[in-house]
Structure 1
Amino acid sequence: MAAQGNRRITDVDTLKAFGHPLRMKLYRALYIARSATASQLADQVDEAVSLVSYHLRKLADHGLIEAAESPGTDGRERWWQPASEGISYRHEDFTDAPEKVAAHTSVTRLLVEQRMDLYRAYLDEMAAWGAEWTGASFSSEYPLRLTSAELTELEGELDAVLKKFKERGDTATANDDIEGRENVSVHLYGFPFRV
């Protein structure tokens, strides 16, 4: 069973292990599925099972994912699950050396690119989702004037709201109340800028 709570990555080797493009995709797919085999994930990312298995083992070596119980009687294929409810990493944990700053920046840029790829894919397929989903989806920007303490407070409050909706979806899914539910990606960024 995955550990409760979010795992904060604080070492550069784990950050670099997560920062591989395919590993990020595999982690996201596994996070959504909650448990899956290498074959199932290979189909989702359109890669060879052997390559996916290799990258899953690398994620497991760094404690980001772990073996899961097989839901069936066929124990020939290994099942995987996230090792925690999520992962995070913060800039302040990687400021003590230039190579750590560079790794943090590189991984963050890749993560943002993959998130934008998800949004672009939605935009390209928007017509297929129908009026209900296109009307519910949103893209907003809120230029605010805050202190760093207020930005930290805002993150905490937004996190609490999103956790409430995640728990609602998890509960409904556990009760097989999945009618009308889809995977929804919410990306929030809060950062200072000057004009």
Structure 2
Amino acid sequence: MASKEPLRITDPETLRAMAHPLRQRILVELNVREHARAADLARALGEPANSISFHLRVLARHHFIEEAPELARDKRDRVWRPVVEQFVIDRDIAGAERAIAPYTRWLRDMFLRDRDAPGEQENFHEGTASGAFLTRDEAERMTAEVTAVLEKWWDRTGAAKRADPDDPERTYYQVVFAVGPRDLATEPAQED
């Protein structure tokens, strides 16, 4: 089982390894399945097995995953497992903003999505922005509560995904949570 302790990314090479969108998808799938072969991941992600194998080796070189030889059928069989569930990026690394760009694009799309467009009704979409007048202590306690809820749902839905990894009804939903002071008075006014 992967460590709950986040991997601290402190160098640009490891950041580039993690920032690739397919590698992020592989990490999510491996964390849910707990272990898999390249062929299993290729089938689940709809990608060629040779491409998945290449990306698995990159992830292993940067300590996101490792081989699990005790789960292999023979010496040629390569089974991979995650080493960590989460990572923290040192914000001083050149290019750190590229790692969060997919999240900010996705978040923007969630708020601007046309829910009446064809095909949009099949999945749930919601974007909410809220605020509260918090002390630092309250902000920290609220963050701990929200994090606990997110972890509970990750554990619950991960167990369901492991029980039936190919369930077509089970879709990966992204959740982004951020909390921090916002000074509306210093933000530039938007033109109409």
Same fold (TM over 0.5): yes
Give the distance between the partners of 2:137 and 2:95, measured in 1 at CA. Answer: 26
The Cα of 1:33 is off from its aligned counterpart by 2.8
Contact 1:151 1:190 in 2 (8 A): no
Match of 1:104 among 91, 96, 104: 96
The equivalent of 2:132 in structure 1 is: 144
- Specify whether residues 164 and 128 from structure 1 end up closer, same or farther in structure 2 by C-alpha distance, changes over 3 A only: closer
Contact 1:18 1:59 in 2 (8 A): yes
Alignment of 1:4-153 (within 5 A): 4-12=3-11, 13-68=13-68, 73=73, 76-84=76-84, 86-90=85-89, 93-95=90-92, 100=93, 102-113=94-105, 125-128=119-122, 134=124, 138-153=126-141
Tell me the TM-score normalized by structure 1: 0.67
Contact 1:64 1:82 in 2 (8 A): yes
Q: Comparing both structures, which one devotes a greater share of its residues to helix?
A: 1
Q: Can you list the C-alpha shifts for 1:25-60, whole angstroms capped at 9, x where unaligned?
A: 221222233322212222344433222211111111
Give the distance between the partners of 1:18 and 1:103, measured in 2 at CA. Answer: 12
The Cα of 1:187 is off from its aligned counterpart by 0.9
Tell me the TM-score normalized by structure 2: 0.68
The Cα of 1:89 is off from its aligned counterpart by 1.0
Gaps of 5+ in 2: 185-192
The equivalent of 1:161 in structure 2 is: 149
The equivalent of 1:190 in structure 2 is: 178
Q: Can you list the C-alpha shifts for 1:140-181, whole angstroms capped at 9, x where unaligned?
A: 32222334543333221211222233344456677x5999x8
Gaps of 5+ in 1: none
Q: Can you list the C-alpha shifts for 1:78-116, whole angstroms capped at 9, x where unaligned?
A: 1212112x11215xx333xxxx1x422111113444677
Contact 1:10 1:94 in 2 (8 A): no
User: What's the secondary structure of 2:87's corresponding residue?
Assistant: strand
Give the distance between the partners of 1:67 and 1:114, measured in 2 at CA. Answer: 32
Give the aligned CA root-mean-square deviation in angstroms: 3.8
Contact 2:107 2:127 in 1 (8 A): no
Give the distance between the partners of 1:68 and 1:183, measured in 2 at CA. Answer: 27
